[in-house]
Amino acid sequence: MSGEKKVVIVTGASSGIGLSLSEQLVGRGYRVVMVARTRATLEAEVARLGEGAVAWPLDVGDLVALALLPEQVVARFGRLDAVVNNAGVNHRGPAMRQTPAALAQIIHVNLSAPVVLSRAALPFLPEGGAIIQVGSLAGMVPVPEQGTYGASKAGLRAFTSSIAEEHPKLHVSTVNPGPVDTGFFGELEQVPDIVFSQPMSTPDAVAARVLRCFDEPSADIAIPGASGWLCTLGYLWPWLFRTLRPTVTARGAAAKQRYAAIVAARSAR
């Protein structure tokens, strides 16, 4: 199999970080199984990327179907070399504003699905294979109005750290970006100001860091690195985080206004 293309599963692959990563992987000669819910969007992107990209319409919330995915991929392509759990969902705002079902969906998609797919992939991954999770800075320190989302990403970090210890011959990492310039924000007015307090990353930059994990494994990566240190300080010393939060939130509010202006200008083109 040394001459065959390496095969990678990427979830949430029809937009944002997942699409950028798929593009970069195809460019490096990988066969990318692009997983997303919306068939039409997915197939359009696969047609654009050409040979090396494979559309695999699937809702990661369907855990039964998701658990069968690695075996099906191996049956079709003869191998599986890496899995990138990128698909995610968020319902923003205080917990009392959300229904119990909406909060449960965050855990289901952001934590249960990656756990299931990672476990299902383990028997098929070769030595040097990879499991990469796309986490979030929100999983490194609790943030008001992001409680369930943060909990889902914190749980994903814990699971991934454990898997990394259990399978030292695999490259197992969590990449934790701060705000990323994608459509994941949804309605900007619903996004807490503090989210924008950290530097904005591009999908291409985050995808490039994920790709580096295939060759340079690192258990837990924050983007930007300085934001990761700030989150760690806030987690270790909650009183410090509470003291700094008004200042950080004000900075985020200003950055949010600037970003909203950028988004409005794009829409006007």
Known catalytic residues are: 149
Identify whether the C-beta of residue 36 lies closer than 8 Å to the C-beta of residue 43: no
Q: Cis omega (within 30 of 0) on the bond before 224?
A: yes
